[in-house]
Amino acid sequence: MVSGNGEAVGAADDFPEQFRSYSENEKHWQARRTFILRNVPPGDGAELSPLRVDQLLSLSMVWANHLFLGCSYNKDLLDKVTEMAEGIEVEDAPHFTTRDEIMKKNQH
């Protein structure tokens, strides 16, 4: 389903569970969970300030929304979350065609 180097062991495994959205299916959650674990400093997440937790959760949602729903964001933000998610592989991730890609294709 999801693979990457963000898998931690012990207390850190439980840390992201509190942030799962009620409507998030298992595939989306496992991908976002991996993203969160990969970007939490070593430890159990207790040293993160509430502001840093909010930022990490927001970035995880940007990445998941872009990956699974095709949402678009500004280039700098997408570059940041793509870098943070480097190496995370999601099976059967959808592919979305952007408006720019469609326009470019129609111009030829």
Q: Averaged over 12-36, what is the pLDDT?
A: 88
Task: Give the model confidence (pLDDT) of 26-49 as tens digits.
Answer: 999 999 999 999 998 776 556 678
Q: How open is the CA angle 82-72-5, to the nearest 5 degrees?
A: 20
Q: Please count the other Cβ atoms lying within 10 Å of the Cβ belonging to residue 80.
A: 15
pLDDT of residue 55: 94
CB 84 within 8 A of CB 39: yes
Q: Encode burial over 40-56: b for 16+ CB neighbours within 10 A, e otherwise.
A: beeeebeebeeeebeeb
Whether residue 8 has pLDDT greater than 70: no
Q: Averaged over 51-57, what is the pLDDT?
A: 92
Higher pLDDT, 85 or 15: 85
pTM for this predicted structure: 0.74
pLDDT of residue 105: 79
Q: Specify the 3-state DSSP secondary structure of 45.
A: coil
Strand partners, 15: none
pLDDT of residue 6: 44
Q: Averaged over 40-60, what is the pLDDT?
A: 82
CB 67 within 8 A of CB 93: yes
Q: Which helix (H) or strand (E) holds 90?
A: strand 89-90
